[in-house]
A and B are shown apart, each in its own frame.
Chain A
Amino acid sequence: MTSLLERRRRRVDELAEASGRSLTADAFQRLRRNPVAIVGAVLVGLFVLVSILAPWLAPHDAATAFPELQRTLRPDSIPGAQPGFPLGSDQNGRDFFSRMILASRQTLLVGVLATLIGLVFGVLIGALAGAFGGWVDTVLMRVTDVLLSIPSLLLAISIAALAAKPSQTTVIIAVALVSVPVFARLLRGSMLAQRESDHVLAATSLGVRRRAIVLRHMLPNAMGPVIVQATLTLATSILDAAALSFLGLGDGDPARAEWGLMLANAQSYLDVRAALAFWPAIAIILVALGFTLLGEALREALDPKGRR
């Protein structure tokens, strides 16, 4: 009997507390209760932490070849773990562990920059199309449709291949451009929904200027799904960037530590030392998985249908 009473009381308290909470706080609350979100957040958090602290975490430099490793280095045998080198050597006698850690910075930089650039241009296009409608909308969305109809990796490869000299910048631009149409479409849709909404009609009935209606009343309300998509896009951007490097469309400098490139270079040594391919691959998968899990959980948490 007491337990039922207790449970009911707790429920009443919870409800009373919930009624005063903001949407964001409420979403955060649900995020914290979701194990998927926690796994995603831990993976993402570790990744970000490692990449920020990489220069201090890595025991050695990424480009230096060490004589003690090179001494035992043969085309058919690459030295494994030994004191001072926890993951052993890479194919050039450099410290593999340090390279793995330092490469996380490249991945974070490319992923975040590409997503941000894609987000900015996508939001710009989507907002224009959704706010103006008419022929502006038609033109922008047909171009977007064309871009969406091309498989994203193929598009990224084509754009990156257009560059005279492959570099980090061309990879970022290519990966960013691929995500632009996704953001644009998504925002345009929710802008159109906002245009029909009661509060926009009410603002119009008060003579609010069109610019203020778009920027203050439509755009902030339409951004929710776009922000969630950005988390998911981070994952695909990282994968795409790694794929481009792997295919030799990134900066080919072998001294540079980058997971995609390391994976590509490890190919010829698969039978000699598979760990050279295994670790970069695992790192890429875990990071992409982390962002995907976090993004999915975020979408669920922000979905008003999930609110009790």
Chain B
Amino acid sequence: MSSALLEVEDLRVAFTRRGEPDTVAVDGVSFDVEPGEIVGLVGESGCGKSVTSLAVMRLLPERGNRVTGSIRMDGEDLLALSDSAMRERRGRDLSMIFQDPLSSLNPVIPVGLQVTEVLTRHRGMRKDAARREAAELLDRVGIPDPTRRLDSYPHQMSGGMRQRALIAIALACTPRLLIADEPTTALDVTIQAQILDLLEQLVAETGTALVMITHDLGVVAGLCDRVNVLYAGRIVERADRHELFRQPRHPYTHGLLGSIPRLDGPPGVDLAAIRGSVNDNLPWAAPEGGACAFAPRCPRALDVCAEVAPAAERAGTRLLRCHNPVPVTEGAA
């Protein structure tokens, strides 16, 4: 048994439709999260990052999909738990923050009640004790005048305040794992930074491990210990944050980093774009050997890329899935 808090192994999620071939959203994803660690799950739209997080929380719809593999938390397979056992763990051992803070709060009941609901549910608190604790939680996430805010409705709060309230709710029972699915996408840039700071500070205080799902490499650079880069449902590269940013090896990661404007870059140079879109992907698995899904868009594609699906190879702490990785530059690695 390893010491990992969460071990996701060979997770596959396929959406099924009668009379049509399955749509494989997550295709054999494996990663683990150590206690207290911040792990990034990065990728573009449709690469399977949200589906992965919903699968870990077991929040995918009951019908119309097939989840295989294993998701172990403390060595216990979450996929094998009964619905009621899973419901006990949600909010207490692992919880989640969603993208849109307005639609994630119930519009017709005050925010305070939504905080105390979790406290009475999982920590068996009485009404008045829960209310005091809720005010303290709101205070801890930096909401001014927390006692008064308990009676506010979501629409009376600003976007940043709502996301703070959601963080307070998610962390109310000090879960050991928090999954944040693009928590800053719906916020403007200054608030984004505040929320990220808050998240970082809170997980450090409580020892909660954080899985940060994002398409924003800036978020990853500022926050994550380790980064998983997802492409078309598979992890194509995994590395420590510093290693990944200093020396991206997968052409996709390389392209992503190259597409970010830099303040210290030379002026007048066009940003590098990754050609094509997800629609141009090849299927990873095919009857005759498969392919690299990224091959049609890849500037470094070889003939072999369209014929054999690259296997995940480990080199030290790095994991790489590529036939022709970007060479290590002198003095960098």
Contact = CB atoms under 8 A, between A and B. Distances in A.
Nearest to B61: A196
B87 interface: yes
Given A206-B90, A207-B91, A199 B103 contact: yes
A209 B121 contact: yes
B100 A198 contact: yes
Given A22-B153, A201-B59, A212-B117, A206 B95 contact: yes
Interface string A202-226: 1111111110100011001100000
B263 to A, nearest CB: 36
Contacts of B57: 205
Summarize B's interface: helix, strand, loop or mixed: mixed
Contact of B109 (A204, A205, A206, A216): A216
A202 B91 CA distance: 10
B100 A207 contact: no
A151 interface: no
A202 B92 CA distance: 14
Give the interface residue-count category, chain A. 20 to 34
A22 B157 CA distance: 11
Given A20-B156, A22-B153, A208-B118, A203 B106 contact: yes
Contacts of B122: 207
B156 A23 contact: no
Given A22-B153, A206-B169, A216-B109, A198 B87 contact: no
Interface in B167-201: 169-170
Interface residues of B, number: 29
Interface in B36-69: 57, 59
A257 B246 CA distance: 90
Given A198-B98, A198-B104, A216-B109, A207 B59 contact: no
B90 A205 contact: yes
Contacts of B103: 197-199
21 contacts: A20-B156, A22-B153, A198-B98, A198-B104, A202-B98, A203-B106, A203-B117, A204-B90, A205-B57, A205-B91, A205-B96, A206-B117, A206-B118, A206-B121, A207-B88, A207-B89, A207-B121, A209-B87, A212-B121, A216-B109, A221-B106
Please provide the 9 A-B residue pairs with the shortest distance between their CB atoms, ordered closest to farther. Answer: A207-B90, A206-B91, A207-B91, A198-B103, A202-B104, A205-B96, A220-B108, A199-B106, A198-B104
Interface of B: 57, 59, 87-92, 95-96, 98, 100, 103-109, 117-118, 121-122, 153, 155-156, 166, 169-170
Interface of A: 20, 22-23, 197-199, 201-210, 212, 216-217, 220-221
Given A197-B103, A205-B57, A216-B117, 17 more contacts: A20-B156, A22-B153, A22-B156, A199-B106, A199-B107, A202-B105, A203-B106, A205-B95, A206-B91, A206-B170, A207-B91, A208-B117, A212-B121, A217-B106, A220-B108, A220-B109, A221-B107
